[in-house]
Structure 1
Amino acid sequence: MHPIVAALKHHKTTVILVVLEIALTCAIVTNALFLIGDRLGTMQLTTGVADNELVWARSSGIDDDATPASRASQTAADLAALRGMPGVKAVAMVNSLPLSRNYWSTCLGIRPGGDKAARVCNLVEYLGTPGYVGTLGMQLSAGRDFLPAEYVDYKGSNDPPPPVMIVTQALAGRLWPGQSPIGKAIFLGDKGQHAVHVVGVVAHLLNPSITKYQGVESGFLWPVRSLAGGMYVLRTTPEARDAVQRDLPRVLDGVDDQRVLTDNHSYVDTVKDYFHDDRALIWLLLVVIGCLLALTALGVVGLSSFWVQQRTHQIGIRRAIGATRRDILHYFQIENFLIVTGGIALGLLLAVALNLLLMKHYELPRLPWFYLPIAALVLWALGQLSVLGPALRAAAVPPVVATRSV
Structure 2
Amino acid sequence: MDIKPILSTLSRHRVAASLIVLEIALACAVLCNALFLAASRMELMRMDSGVDETAIATITLNDCDSCNAVDLNSRWLQQLRGQAGVQAAGVANAVPFGQRAGTFGITLDAEGKHHGGVPHFYTLDADAVATLQLKPVQGRMFEAADYQPIENYLPENAQVWITQAFAEHLWPGESALGKSFWMGSYHYAVAGVLASFSRPDPGRSENGIAGAQWSVIVPVTTNAQSGTYVLRANPADLPGILRDAIAAAPKVTPEAILAGDYSMPLQQLRDTYFRQDRAMTRLLLGVCVTMLLVTALGIIGLASFWVQQRTKQIGIRRALGATRRQIVGYFQTENFLLTSIGIAIGMLLAYAGNQLLMHYFEIPRLPLYYLPVGAVLLWLLGQAAVIGPALRAAAIPPIVATRSA
- For normalisation by structure 1, the TM-score amounts to 0.86
Provide the residue aligned with 1:51 in structure 2: 53
Gaps of 5+ in 2: none
How far apart in 2 are the matches of 1:137 and 1:87?
17
- CA contact 2:92–2:225 (8 Å) conserved in 1: no
Query: Does residue 203 of structure 1 match 2:200?
Result: no
Query: Does residue 143 of structure 1 match 2:139?
Result: yes
How far apart in 2 are the matches of 1:168 and 1:89?
26
Corresponding residue SS for 2:47: coil
Q: CA-to-partner distance for each residue in 1:87-134, whole Å, 9 max, x for gaps?
A: 3222112101123241213466766xx534467563422112222223
Provide the residue aligned with 1:78 in structure 2: 76
Provide the residue aligned with 1:28 in structure 2: 30
How far apart in 1 are the matches of 2:256 and 2:19?
67
How far apart in 2 are the matches of 1:107 and 1:12?
55
Change (3 A) 1:132 1:315: same
Count of residue correspondences: 396
Provide the residue aligned with 2:121 in structure 1: 125
- For residue 299 of structure 1, report the CA deviation from its aligned partner: 1.2
Q: Which moved more, 1:198-207 or 1:209-218?
A: 209-218
How far apart in 2 are the matches of 1:179 and 1:346?
41
- CA contact 2:207–2:362 (8 Å) conserved in 1: no
Provide the residue aligned with 2:227 in structure 1: 230
Provide the residue aligned with 1:212 in structure 2: 206
Gaps of 5+ in 1: none
How far apart in 1 are the matches of 2:264 and 2:57?
6
What pairs with 1:367-378 in structure 2 (closer than 5 Å)? 367-378=366-377
Query: Pick from 85, 90, 93: which aligns with 1:92?
Result: 90
How far apart in 2 are the matches of 1:310 and 1:316?
12
- CA contact 2:149–2:155 (8 Å) conserved in 1: no
Provide the residue aligned with 1:270 in structure 2: 269
Query: Pick from 252, 256, 261: which aligns with 1:255?
Result: 252
- For residue 278 of structure 1, report the CA deviation from its aligned partner: 2.2
How far apart in 1 are the matches of 2:119 and 2:295?
47
How far apart in 2 are the matches of 1:360 and 1:183?
34
Query: Pick from 14, 21, 42: which aligns with 1:12?
Result: 14
The share of aligned pairs that are identical, in percent, is: 40
Change (3 A) 1:173 1:321: closer
- CA contact 2:123–2:217 (8 Å) conserved in 1: yes
Change (3 A) 1:404 1:96: same
- For normalisation by structure 2, the TM-score amounts to 0.87
- For residue 173 of structure 1, report the CA deviation from its aligned partner: 4.2
How far apart in 2 are the matches of 1:14 and 1:145?
69
- For residue 64 of structure 1, report the CA deviation from its aligned partner: 3.2
- CA contact 1:95–1:128 (8 Å) conserved in 2: yes
- For residue 23 of structure 1, report the CA deviation from its aligned partner: 1.3
How far apart in 1 are the matches of 2:180 and 2:10?
71
Aligned-CA RMSD value: 2.8
Corresponding residue SS for 1:140: coil
Q: CA-to-partner distance for each residue in 1:47-67, whole Å, 9 max, x for gaps?
A: 11222222111124656352x
Change (3 A) 1:336 1:48: same
- CA contact 1:139–1:204 (8 Å) conserved in 2: no
Change (3 A) 1:187 1:13: closer
Q: Look up the equivalent residue of 1:203 and give its one-letter code.
A: A
Provide the residue aligned with 1:336 in structure 2: 335
Q: CA-to-partner distance for each residue in 1:117-167, whole Å, 9 max, x for gaps?
A: 46756342211222222312334202333334543332534x754653323
What pairs with 1:282-293 in structure 2 (closer than 5 Å)? 282-293=281-292
Change (3 A) 1:64 1:161: farther
Corresponding residue SS for 2:365: coil
